[in-house]
Structure 1
Amino acid sequence: MNRIQSQQLKMINLVQVYLETIAMDIWNEVPRFMDYQNELVSIHEKLQVLHQVQTQNIKGFTVNKANAREALCDFAVMISEKIMAYAVNTNNEALYINYRYSKSLLVRMNELKFDISCQIIFDKAIELYNELDDYGVDSMLMDQFESLRTEFTAVLGSTKNERKKIKLVTHEINRLFKKAIQLLFKMDVLVRTIEKNHPEIVKGYFENRAFDRPSYRHYSIRILIKDEDNLPLEGAAVSCNALEFKRKSLKKGEIRLKNIPEGNYVFTVSKKSYLSKKITVLVNSSERTEVKVVLFRL
């Protein structure tokens, strides 16, 4: 639910509360007004439930995926280091080069490549199981490695399902808001029919019915871009299709964006000789959003 929809939801609630303060006999005088009001109440309740589901799902699957990936990444690096140690002691240069997986390397990979790399490390550890015994690789360690891989794969599957669910929920929210606005338009027309006999009631209705679009902060997003040595990157390109925005970072590796409406935005950050990165930035209504982006050299 975006910021405008949140404001609309508050307005619908205010209208409902106001209508309940007026004697029902007055509304019964207006043909079908109570039917529209009851339908609006039902839509309002559904929107509240869907908003809660939408919010919980977005936060939940993002955290689960990040936690599962970090745990697997740390374990894969540990096994990789044991393979590298074995390679050094056996003068196997090819093995050392092929299995030199650092955490920074794994972190930069997309989900598919990361999953494949962990599989490669696992398979090599199984192949060298007896040789790696002196390096602390035992059945318990490999069982834990396999368990973490299984958990990450499961989370990836559930993440795809959650994304589909969120899309369906968002679609239903949009549909219900469209229906609510149609109902309110009909109610607006009907309320005016009692204006001559009940001017104060009509005035109160439209005061609660008024919808003010939210104002935006002058300073919405600050993006700070650095390299892997924590040095600011000047001239990094930052773009966002949703905002039709494209700009390069200043000397301090900084970009500031003003007057950005609340919502989720995907930014692409790139620079020659560096790996590009996509980030999702959530802009809230009550605070400025600051994001640090680290680009790694090719």
Structure 2
Amino acid sequence: MNILQKVKLTMYMVVKDFLRLNATIVEKLPNYKANATVLDDNILKIQGAAELQAFKKTGIADEKNKLRASLIAQAEDFSLKLVAYAANIRNMILLKEVKYSKSELIRAADADLKNMAQCIYNRAHENIAALAGYDITEGMVTTFLDTINSFNEAIPTVREGATSKKLHTTQLEDLYKETDAALSNIDRIVEIVRLSYPDFYKGYQNSRLVIKRSGGSVALKGVVTDASNHEPLRGVTLIIAPVDGNGAAIVKKTADKGGFMVKSLPEGVYNVTVSKSGYKDQVVTVAITNGELSVLNVEMNKN
């Protein structure tokens, strides 16, 4: 739900309670009950759809994020070792095929990351007999393949979750349109008693006000600190990428006091990869909702 939807829902509930307190005035008015029923029923439906929408934003992506982080770590390890092997045997073709930097792996969309890892795995599998001296074992290669396959299976699951979220978002939009139409009908109906019940009429008009909360133009902000002493960390790199792989990644760095800010982000769920030399990388998930500020504070542990 965005800010406008939230404040409108509050207004719906205020109107419902006001009309219930003044049932003796409104219940006998023509066509009132049918529209009041729509109002009451849709409030419950909106609350239910909003809960499902919020759940889909992060729940499904958590496991895939863990797999992605594991895959990046394994791919980087294999790449470094295979590059050393290729350089030693002077196989420049192999070297180019398996050389991927950590930043390339982190920035890659899900499908591209899977393909990169698959290429590295293929070359490791083909040369396994010669790689014992490079700390690559058959067990490691098997584990690497298992991670690739698990990650590949998780990609469509996240996209299905994004599709489901869109369905709940569409459902919310339809419910708000239907509820607004019912309230517009009630607006016209209460005109019947405008002069005979002036206090009721004034109270009804007040209940229909949508009070907007102040909002800024920032989509995401936060602070990165050292987990051991809680001191702010300057120069931390944050790579913000859509979990579904659609769209370019955004790169930010923390300022002197550890803060960062992103003014504009399309609504959706994002992986935020947090990295700094001397600290363990982290991958966290954040949901962005149009019109709302999301806050992400991260504590980093030293290597």
TM-score (norm 2): 0.70
Pairs within 5 Å for 1:231-246: none
Contact kept in structure 2, 1:220 and 1:283, CA below 8 Å: no
2:187 is the counterpart of 1:188: yes
2:13 is the counterpart of 1:10: no
- Distance apart, 1:57 and its partner CA: 1.0
Contact kept in structure 2, 1:191 and 1:202, CA below 8 Å: yes
* 1:270 matched residue in structure 2: none
Would you say how many aligned residue pairs link Structure 1 and Structure 2? 253
2:221 is the counterpart of 1:220: no
Whole-Å separation in 2 of the counterparts to 1:163 and 1:113? 19
Whole-Å separation in 2 of the counterparts to 1:169 and 1:222? 23
Task: State the AA in 2 paired with 1:181.
Answer: D
Shift of the 163–184 alpha-carbon distance from structure 1 to 2, 3 Å rule, reads same
| Cα shift readout 1:250-289 (whole Å, capped 9, x = no counterpart) | xx9xx9998x8x97389xxxxxxxxxxxxx9947877587
- Distance apart, 1:7 and its partner CA: 1.1
Whole-Å separation in 2 of the counterparts to 1:155 and 1:14? 43
2:27 is the counterpart of 1:28: yes
Whole-Å separation in 1 of the counterparts to 2:172 and 2:29? 29
- % identical equivalent positions: 23
Pairs within 5 Å for 1:28-107: 28-107=27-106
Shift of the 208–145 alpha-carbon distance from structure 1 to 2, 3 Å rule, reads same
- Distance apart, 1:138 and its partner CA: 2.7
Whole-Å separation in 1 of the counterparts to 2:294 and 2:68? 28
Contact kept in structure 1, 2:83 and 2:99, CA below 8 Å: yes
Mind listing any 5+ residue stretches in structure 1 that lack a counterpart?
A: 224-229, 233-251, 267-279, 292-298
Whole-Å separation in 1 of the counterparts to 2:15 and 2:194? 17
* 2:115 matched residue in structure 1: 116
Contact kept in structure 2, 1:282 and 1:289, CA below 8 Å: no
Contact kept in structure 2, 1:50 and 1:169, CA below 8 Å: yes
Shift of the 265–52 alpha-carbon distance from structure 1 to 2, 3 Å rule, reads closer
Contact kept in structure 2, 1:54 and 1:166, CA below 8 Å: yes
Task: Identify which of structures 1 and 2 has the higher relative contact order when contacts are C-alpha pairs closer than 8 Å and 6+ apart.
Answer: 2
Contact kept in structure 2, 1:221 and 1:290, CA below 8 Å: no
- Distance apart, 1:43 and its partner CA: 0.8
Contact kept in structure 2, 1:87 and 1:95, CA below 8 Å: yes
Shift of the 113–285 alpha-carbon distance from structure 1 to 2, 3 Å rule, reads closer
* 2:197 matched residue in structure 1: 198
